[in-house]
Amino acid sequence: MFSQNDYINILVIRFKRIGDAILSLPLCHSLKLTFPNSKVDFVLYEDVAPLFEGHLYIDNVITITKKEQKNPFKYIKKVFNVTRKKYDIIIDIMSTPKSELFCMFSRKSPFRIGRYKKKRGFFYNYKMKEKESLNKIDKFLNQLLPPFEEAGFDIKKDYDFKFFADPREKEKYKQKMLEAGIDFSKPVIAFSIYSRVSHKIYPIDGMKEIVKYLIEKYNAQIIFFYSADQKDEIQKIHREIGDNKNIFSTIETPTIKDLVPFLENCDYYIGNEGGARHLAQGVGIPTFAIFNPSAELKEWLPFPSEKNMGISPIDMIEKKSISLEEFNNMSSEEQFSLIDIETIKKMCNELIEKNKRK
């Protein structure tokens, strides 16, 4: 067994989408604070990995490529090669048969921690049951750190998931936005009008109405940001809204990492909930997100406040005078439509009025 100040190697496995990976950062940081001489390696999927390269809480990003995801032999070879490093601590947030392979090849690691699941977890020496929690961050910290407390270590928890761009990158994006016609004397809103996941998209016609409202009320600069594969659809929506000098759909963020300096130059994030909203919260700008029916706001909106707001269809039950049983019998489209435009406008107003640029 090692001591708290020994040099130790830690592996954290979380190869999922951007939001899941971002909300795992507090666990990584808590481990680094608890074991100050540790090195934390973070296992991620290829499309998400660049965002975490060079992050303060991560020493090394290990990428699972698309080929490795699809080919079992390539994947097993990758896992075997990674585990040759001899980790002292392995935390498998994923806790799937696929991710458990890291522990199968590391049976001498003193701490092999996974989440309890029936008929699984044979290679963990700590199978942790879920505890009551405030949100997903709290769940990870309360569920996966207790083995260290039991071993006598002084646990130091941290709930932040901060992101910072290189100042040169931030300035580069500011210049890019100025060249596109952004007027920084007016509110600049990163507006998530679309999503790569169709069930996360609030009805587009409603979103168009919100965009027009924000421009009329606040003379806001609305920037539709997007990934490369969404460009055509975003610009189609822009054309449908019509020619308006306050709407921008040509400021591209080619990689996921480009979102950080872009968001740092915005005043607010408004729109569909997704990984970019987590990133906006990490950057520190005020956010308001519309959650789809399948996303639990309690889980995915860590520490809601006047600066970080969200609304979910289930929040509308009382206002719409319907029972929980009626709500559960609705289709997801019917549930989504319960969030009316006036409610969204009111919450946008609250976000902007209480977080005006100083």
Domains, the chain, in order of start with CATH, read 8-150 (3.40.50.2000), 167-354 (3.40.50.2000)
**Tell me, what's the pLDDT at 260?**
96
Q: How far apart are CA 103 and CA 109, in angstroms?
A: 8
Mean pLDDT of 31-37: 97
**Tell me, what's the pLDDT at 91?**
98
Task: Read off the pLDDT band of 16 (50, 70, 90).
Answer: confident
Tell which wins on pLDDT, 132 or 174. 174
CB atoms within 10 A of CB 3: 10
**pTM for the full model?**
0.93
Does the pLDDT at position 30 exceed 90? yes
**Tell me, what's the pLDDT at 134?**
80
What Cα–Cα distance (Å) separates residue 337 from each residue in 287, 315, 332? 21, 12, 9
Task: Count the alpha carbons within 13 Å of 18 in the hemisphere toward its beta carbon.
Answer: 21
Does the pLDDT at position 230 exceed 90? no
To 10 degrees, what angle do helices 204-218 and 341-354 make? Answer: 40
Mean pLDDT of 145-157: 96
Per-residue pLDDT tens for 314-342? 999 999 999 999 999 999 889 999 999 99
**Tell me, what's the pLDDT at 333?**
87
Q: How far apart are CA 307 and CA 286, in angstroms?
A: 5
CB atoms within 10 A of CB 254: 8
Per-residue pLDDT tens for 198-207? 788 899 999 9
Task: Read off the pLDDT band of 350 (50, 70, 90).
Answer: very high
**Tell me, what's the pLDDT at 153?**
96
- CB-CB contact of 58 with 40 (8 Å): yes
Q: How far apart are CA 155 and CA 194, in angstroms?
A: 40
Does the pLDDT at position 197 exceed 70? yes
What b/e readout covers 301-337, taking b as 16+ CB neighbours within 10 angstroms?
bbeeeebbbbbbbbebeeeeeeeeeebeeeeeeebbb
Task: Count the alpha carbons within 13 Å of 219 in the hemisphere toward its beta carbon.
Answer: 5
Does the pLDDT at position 354 exceed 70? yes
Does the pLDDT at position 186 exceed 90? yes
**Tell me, what's the pLDDT at 132?**
80
Per-residue pLDDT tens for 248-296? 999 989 888 999 999 999 999 999 999 999 999 999 999 999 999 988 8
Report the mean per-residue pLDDT for the chain: 94
- Amino acid symbol at 357: R
Task: Give the single-character DSSP code of 129.
Answer: P
Does the pLDDT at position 358 exceed 80? no
**Tell me, what's the pLDDT at 42?**
97
**Which residues make Cβ contacts (< 8 Å) with residue 275, sequence separation at least 6?**
17, 18, 19, 22
